[in-house]
Amino acid sequence: MNNDYPANRSRSASNRIVTRREFLRASIATAGLSQLSCAVRPCPTSGSKGCRFGIVTDCHYADIEAQGTRYYRQSLDKLGECVELMNAESVDFLVELGDIKDENAGRVERETIGYLQNIESVFRRFAGPRYHVLGNHDMDSISKQQLLGSVENTGIEAGRSFYSFDSEGAHFIVLDANYTADGTDYDHGNFDWTDANIPGFELEWLCGDLDRARGPVVAFVHQLLDDSGAHGVRNAVEVRSVLEGSGKVAAVFQGHQHSGCYNIIRGIHYYTLKAVVEGSGEENNSYAIVEFSASGDITVTGYRKAVSKQLAAAAS
């Protein structure tokens, strides 16, 4: 396993704080210089132009005071900046990797739903397909169905917490690890955040979905599949076995661990994106664009504090 994240270089030519619009213009103009690619197999369907999508994670939005390094209120503007750039870049779709909202100290259901509606209204400004991955904080004081009833996953049946879709010759899978060890849904905070599990019925669905998938596969999940510690999915070894056995999965994109990390395990890349909520100010935002080319290359471009990571080609 490899945990080496390179230091992310500054995107500003000087030490001054640039405006959001200046930053977006500069980022778009220089994105091609900061992209790093890797070859993966199998390739997208012949004739595909490739696929470009955005990722963002751990907004933890709530209308509450900052606590430690978490600046909850600032996530509205930070996500707004992300959406603005994704629209300018015309990515094919945008995925948020979980913990889109947080809660207040009283764990008031009504107020939590209000936080969710406010941050979701920003996410909906993205002009293309949008997808949600569920995180543990998404059910801290509401139910999974309340969460799913307040968001939209484009083209996906309402109420589904794990699902898949296709885009430009690639197949994308969204997993839900928000179950206790006995397979019970996270609901109104009835869980230990370190007890994340992907239950048997979801694994059975995953096996079938991978069997039917054409082209390369990318998976999205909130809790980590490459970590045996507190941030990891407890049955991650079993889940990885399913992914590896398909011979189709190129990469997994994750949230949850706010500092970010990277591993490669048996030819599958595990990239954990840094959290939006950590740190004050525009410079502490975090989001990325991931690109599949028609040749099968993957490119990850990080913005603000998100890391642009070069991934070695998987061994044949």
pLDDT at 215: 80
Structure tokens at 173: 């899978």
Residue by residue, DSSP assigns 221-253 as ESSBSS--STTBBTTHHHHHHHHHHHT-EEEEE
Give the model's pLDDT for residue 292: 79
Name the one residue in this structure whose structure tokens are 């009283």: 106
Q: What pLDDT digit, counting tens, does each position of 215-257 carry?
A: 889 999 999 999 989 999 999 999 999 999 999 999 999 999 9
Q: For 46-57, how does the pLDDT look when each residue is reduced to its tens digit (9 = 90+)?
A: 455 678 999 999
Tell me which residue has tokens 């950590």: 278
- pTM value? 0.87
- The span from the CA of 94 to the CA of 56, in Å, is 8
Count of CA atoms in the C-beta half-sphere (13 A) of 64 = 20
List the beta bridge partners of residue 301.
289
Domain 37-304 belongs in CATH node 1.10.1060.10: no
Burial class of residue 47 (count of CB atoms within 10 Å of its CB; 0-12, 13-18, 19+): exposed
Q: How far apart are CA 268 and CA 251, in angstroms?
A: 5
Transcribe 183-205 into DSSP letters: SPBPBTT-S-TT-B---HHHHHH
Beta-carbon contacts of 182 under 8 Å, excluding residues fewer than 6 positions away, are none
Q: Check whether 183 has a pLDDT greater than 60.
A: yes
Interval 167-180 mean pLDDT: 95
Task: Note the pLDDT of residue 21.
Answer: 57
pLDDT tens-place string over residues 113-164: 999 999 999 999 999 999 999 999 999 999 999 999 999 999 999 999 999 9
Question: In the prediction, which pLDDT does 298 show?
Answer: 82
Structure-derived torsion over alpha carbons of residues 294, 297, 298, 301, reported in degrees to the nearest 10? -90
Q: How confident is the model over 53-101, as pLDDT tens digits?
A: 999 999 999 999 999 999 999 999 999 999 999 999 999 999 999 999 9
CB 263, CB 1: distance < 8 Å? yes
Question: Do 290 and 52 meet the contact criterion of CB atoms below 8 Å apart?
Answer: yes
The per-residue pLDDT for range 193-202, each reduced to its tens digit, is 999 999 999 9
